[in-house]
């Protein structure tokens, strides 16, 4: 038992402060997770340099649904390729495509009602 009042006060501060630190550290760690209580996804070129001819791109999924569709178009909005993909939550997939000669390549990725694009 803590006999002195000083010890009681110090013990109270230390105990409550430690609880707060442990709790907040844990909370922030969960908030830092890409998927905890969040729903988002992303697309990006593996090689972003504009002069690079590499058009491989990556899709990362942090939503609860796994169905994605990608469409490759040229600058005149003509579809060159369309394909479905399954990407489970918390994972990513790289898609390899070839550059359309002498034209801008547009990559469209559809997921639920959302569309994201890349161009090169």
Partner 1 sequence: MDSILISNIILILIFILTLFLPGWLFLNFLLKTTLSKLEIFALSVPMSLSIVTLSILISGKLGISITQINISIILVIILLIEIILLKIKKQRHLPIPYFETFSRKQVSILILSIALMIFIKTTFLVNTIFPTATDLGHHMFWVEKIISSEELVTYSKIKVIPDNIESANTSVANFTESQPIADFIIGEHIIFVVISLLTELSVVSAFPSLVLLIINIFTAFALFILSLRLFHKLPFGKNSAIFSFILIGPLYAISGAQAKFVSGGVIGNIFGNLLIVSIIFFLYISFTKKSRNSMLVVFLLLITLIYTHHLSTFILAYSLFGIFITLFITNWRKIPKIAKSWKYLMTSPVLLLLITLSSLFLIFIYTPSYLNTEAISSATGAPNKSTRTGIKFTQLKTMIGDARLSFAIAGFLLSLILFSKNRYIVNIRKTLKTELYFKLSYTRAIILGWFGIIFIMISYPAILKVNIISSRIATYIAFPSAIIGGFLLSWLLFYIPKSLPKNISTTVLVMLFLFIFSDGLLDSNNSLKELSKTEEAVQTFHAAQYLSKNIQESTWVLKDHNYITSDTWIKVFLATNYSNPLSRSYFRRYESHPNREHCTLEMISNPGTDLSKDCFTSLNIGPVMIDTSEDGEKFNRNLNFVKVYENNNSSIYWKK
Interface with partner 1 (CB under 8 A), residue total 46
Nearest-angstrom CA–CA distance, 54 and 13? 58
Task: Judge whether 106 and 64 are in contact, CB under 8 Å.
Answer: no
- For 13-37, give one letter per residue: b (16+ CB within 10 A) or e: eeeeeeeeeeeeeeeeeeeeeeeee
For residues 57-96, which are near partner 1 according to CB under 8 A?
Answer: 60
CB of 87 to partner 1, least distance (A): 15
CB of 37 to partner 1, least distance (A): 8
Binding site for partner 1 (CB under 8 A): 4-10, 12-13, 16-29, 31-32, 34, 37-38, 40-45, 48-51, 60, 104, 114, 116-120
């Amino acid at each position: 038992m803590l006999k002195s009042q000083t010890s009681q006060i110090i013990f109270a501060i230390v105990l409550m402060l430690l609880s707060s630190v442990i709790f907040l550290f844990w909370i922030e760690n969960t908030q830092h997770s890409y998927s905890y209580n969040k729903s988002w996804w992303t697309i990006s070129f593996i090689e972003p340099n504009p002069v690079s001819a590499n058009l491989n791109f990556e899709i990362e999924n942090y939503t609860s649904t796994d169905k994605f569709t990608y469409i490759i178009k040229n600058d005149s909005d003509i579809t060159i390729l369309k394909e479905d993909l399954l990407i489970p939550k918390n994972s990513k997939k790289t898609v390899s495509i070839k550059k359309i000669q002498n034209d801008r390549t547009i990559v469209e990725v559809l997921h639920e009602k959302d569309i994201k694009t890349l161009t090169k």
